[in-house]
Amino acid sequence: MHPFSYTRASDTRSALAAGRRGGRYVAGGTTLVDLMRETVERPRTLVDIGDLPLRGITGTERGGLRIGALVRMAEAAAHPLVRTAYPVVSQALELSASPQLRNMATIGGNIMQRTRCAYFRDVTAACNKRTPGSGCAARNGFNRTHAILGTSGHCVATHPSDVAVAFTALEATVSLLGPDGGERGVRLADFLLRPGSTPDREQALRPGELITAVEIPAHPRPLGSGYLKVRDRQSYEFALTSAAVALHVRGGVIREARVAAGGVGTVPWRLPAVERHLVGERPSNALWTEAAGRAAEGARPLEHNRFKTDLLKRTVERQLRVVGGTR
Ligand code: SF4
């Protein structure tokens, strides 16, 4: 581990001042400290934001839900407002990591976590995300767990978060506070960046900006939702594929559909072709199969992850059946 200085911010103003000077924010530390041990990350200053007042889960005036950036994953998963209104969020959190990690890791940190690409974490390997311009060892290496959607010639790594997939399906917004005190909201779908030619730039964050919350907008009721994660072992493993599904059915017709996938994209991957096929239709097993058949549109599999194309379709179909019912 490289030498670094550590400061614990007592209030938001001092945190932002330290962020303006180039300090890296840390809360649960479950990702960043690991990467520092492996010398993948080498921040000169850590700014511990654990004491900032960013821990609430509250309903918004507009009928949505605001989850503070420092809410622990386990707290969010168990919160009654989350469990009842957005089971897809609760389930995605409960299927993430281990109980110990969920007790430490925060919602803001979860969104900011970095890829699990093994080459990224091996400082002897070529990796454009870690060392821009060095190449991508995964492209022609062992790429079984890598992305099939949103890839570029520079990077094919997946985004590892489960709850970000649920947030993407629900069209959540990330609330940000700048060093000058300015606030803004950015849709998560715009906040997390595809690799393009700059895979080292992963979020649309401005220098010194701090995530304060994730906000889920109001959705029509009733909204049935749920999350399915497919992985190599039943616990403490990242997704090979996953599906977040939210459906609003009224009068026997699907009025709204939100579907996103994880484990397959360089960012959490919304599936608009699937959604379009569902809206205006009556739920049926045939509809689930037809809609899920569109889940992998645009996929570009690599040598070792061709299986993900079919697995994604089956994952989406199964979760449509779970949320929409078997008929
Ligand atoms: Fe690095 Fe991305 Fe290639 Fe992995 S896939 S080695 S993170 S550039």
Give mean pLDDT in consecutive 10-residue pieces for the chain, a chain of 327 residues: 95 96 96 96 97 97 96 98 96 97 98 97 98 98 98 98 98 96 97 98 97 96 96 94 98 97 98 98 98 98 98 98 90
306 contacts 240 by C-beta, under 8 angstroms: no
Burial of 293 (0-12, 13-18, 19+ CB in 10 A): middle
Distance CA 243, CA 191 (A): 20
Contacts with 34 (C-beta within 8 Å, 6 or more apart), sequence order: none
Question: What is the pLDDT, as a whole number, of residue 326?
Answer: 79
Distance 265 CA to ligand 1 centre (A): 13
Ligand 1 test: best mutation among 35, 116, 127, 149, most atoms within 8 Å of CB? 127
Query: Does the beta carbon of 143 lie inside 6 Å of ligand 1?
Result: no
Question: What is the pLDDT, as a whole number, of residue 268?
Answer: 98
Distance 24 CA to ligand 1 centre (A): 22
Question: What is the pLDDT, as a whole number, of residue 1?
Answer: 84
Q: What residues form DSSP beta bridges with 45? A: 5
Peptide bond into 220 cis (omega under 30): no
Going by their DSSP bridges, the two strands 24-26 and 45-48 should be labelled as parallel
Contacts with 155 (C-beta within 8 Å, 6 or more apart), sequence order: 128, 129, 136, 138, 195, 199, 266
Nearest to residue 319, comparing CAs of 87, 29, 58, 1?
87
Query: Does the beta carbon of 167 lie inside 6 Å of ligand 1?
Result: no
Distance CA 159, CA 267 (A): 5
Query: Does the beta carbon of 227 lie inside 6 Å of ligand 1?
Result: no
Using a cut of 0.95, tell me whether the model's pTM lies above it: yes
* Buried b or exposed e, range 77-100, using 16+ CB within 10 angstroms: bebebbeebbbbbbbbbbbbbeee
Residue 115 CA: nearest ligand 1 atom is 7
Query: Does the beta carbon of 127 lie inside 6 Å of ligand 1?
Result: yes
Determine how many CB atoms are found less than 10 A away from the CB of residue 220.
Answer: 9
Query: Does the beta carbon of 115 lie inside 6 Å of ligand 1?
Result: yes
Query: Does the beta carbon of 141 lie inside 6 Å of ligand 1?
Result: no
Distance CA 132, CA 197 (A): 9
**Domains of the chain by start residue, with CATH:** 1-51 (3.30.43.10), 224-324 (3.30.390.50)
Contacts with 172 (C-beta within 8 Å, 6 or more apart), sequence order: 187, 188, 214, 215, 216, 217
- Residue whose CA is at the smallest distance from ligand 1 atom 3: 136
Q: Per residue, what are the HEC states of the chain?
A: CCCCEEEECCCHHHHHHHHHCCCEEECCCCCHHHHHHCCCCCCCEEEECCCCCCCCEEECCCCCEEEECCCEHHHHHHCHHHHHHCHHHHHHHHCCCCHHHHHHCEHHHHHHCCCCCCCCCCCCCCECCCCCCCCECCCCCCCCCCCCECCCCCCCCCCCCCHHHHHHHCCCEEEEECCCCCEEEEEHHHHECCCCCCCCCCECCCCCCEEEEEEECCCCCCCEEEEEEECCCCCCCCCCEEEEEEEEEECCEEEEEEEEEECCECCCEECHHHHHHHCCCCCCHHHHHHHHCCCCCCCCCCCCCCHHHHHHHHHHHHHHHHHHCCC
Question: What is the pLDDT, as a whole number, of residue 221?
Answer: 87
Distance 123 CA to ligand 1 centre (A): 11
Distance 199 CA to ligand 1 centre (A): 8
Residue 137 CA: nearest ligand 1 atom is 6
Tell me the residue type at 240: L
Query: Does the beta carbon of 128 lie inside 6 Å of ligand 1?
Result: yes
